[in-house]
Amino acid sequence: MPTQGWKQFLTAKTRMLAAYDVAKEQGINHQVKTRHGVVAEAEFRKWLGEFLPKRYAVTSGYIISPGISSSEHAVHFDVIIYDQLESPVLWVEDNPDSSSQGKSLAIPVEYVRAVIEVKSAFNKVSAKKVVEQLSKLKPLLARVDAPNSPVKLYLPHNFFCATVFFELRKEDEKDFAALDELVNATMIRRFFGGMILRAETQYKLDSGKIFFRNENIDSGPNNSSSLAFWSSSRCLKYKDDSYFSLLLNYSETYFSEFAFDILALLKGTYRPNVLSSLYCMGSTSRENGSCVETRYADPEAVKRYKEETAAILKAQGFVGFEPSDL
């Protein structure tokens, strides 16, 4: 059954997308159309900072390790979650026109708990950029510091990384290479998966969840008629006949699931394929009394099915049925 407050929880996603849409509309006539991407990052950081317990702070910025030479440029990440009760802030990059969400902080490596890369649209180009950016974490993931080590050089053992895309546009719905590109992120230790806040389909309330899968066979890609329906990526062989792949699926509940999965990962209670929480779980169909949710790739095929079924029922003597009743 839908749990208390699920609709109110989803208003956060609505607000993020509304701010993103305004920035995208305002940028139509700009020669360089990047502002909506900056707004997407800021809105996501704002929501996540409000959602997480106050032990955790959210910022854009840099992860600093004493094991990295000063000749190496510090890498800037869209979203860093860190333990603000313990961590010092090494420096702040700011300007008078920036909001608090526009600041970039430099955080010592041992206090960083997660990195999330945020992109406007899900497609092959943006997926490749996500993989390239998250791959820059590899030097900090090469080892795990010993618990008694006085100097910390690497990200903690419970660190994780993920990605968020604000939308899947109609023009990109058959860009199946996007998933095949993103699956390369599974080679990064502690890559969790990701989220697409909305797809341009009739299912306006659904979000897409990108699941990490570990399999013992090469199942190959499974492309439906559209990335806005469901799809799976090609498999990458790791070792010992272990294969990694990604599954993209949609549900109205996935925004809530993703949020509480992040919280569970931070607290160390996350279990794959198990709901991390029952808080704010619900959907429109369940609210209307149905325990079954069904999505269709082709609305016209659904319309024909309902018309044909109603005609058969009438022919068998079940009068009064209309396609809208099915």
pLDDT of residue 77: 97
Residue 221 clears pLDDT 70, i.e. is over it: yes
Residue 262 clears pLDDT 90, i.e. is over it: yes
Residue 110 clears pLDDT 70, i.e. is over it: yes
Closest CA to 113 of 146, 80, 150, 79: 80
Better pLDDT: 321 or 111: 111
The 10s digit of each residue's pLDDT in 162-204 is: 999 999 999 999 999 999 999 999 999 999 999 999 998 878 8
Residue 271 clears pLDDT 70, i.e. is over it: yes
- Interior angle at CA 37, CA 33 and CA 38, nearest 5: 105
Global pTM? 0.88
Residue 46 belongs to what H/E stretch? helix 35-51
pLDDT of residue 287: 87
Residues 31-39 have a mean pLDDT of 69
The 10s digit of each residue's pLDDT in 194-218 is: 999 999 887 889 999 999 988 888 8
The tokens describing 302, both together, are 């659904």
Residue listed under structure tokens 């925004």: 255
Which stretch of 101-115, 273-287, 303-317 has the lowest confidence by average pLDDT? 303-317
CB distance 87 to 108 below 8 Å: yes
Cross-strand pairs, 104: 60, 93
d(CA 182, CA 234): 10
d(CA 279, CA 271): 16
Residue 103 clears pLDDT 80, i.e. is over it: yes
pLDDT of residue 255: 97
Residues 11-16 have a mean pLDDT of 97
CB distance 141 to 189 below 8 Å: yes
Distances in whole angstroms, Cα of residue 234 to Cα of each of 183, 211, 219, 222, 283: 7, 13, 8, 8, 31
pLDDT of residue 297: 65
Confidence class for position 320, pLDDT limits 50, 70, 90: low
Which stretch of 63-72, 109-118, 123-132, 209-218 has the lowest confidence by average pLDDT? 209-218
The 10s digit of each residue's pLDDT in 121-133 is: 999 999 999 999 9
pLDDT of residue 119: 97
Residue 302 clears pLDDT 90, i.e. is over it: no
Q: What is the mean pLDDT of the chain?
A: 89
d(CA 126, CA 106): 25
Better pLDDT: 223 or 160: 160
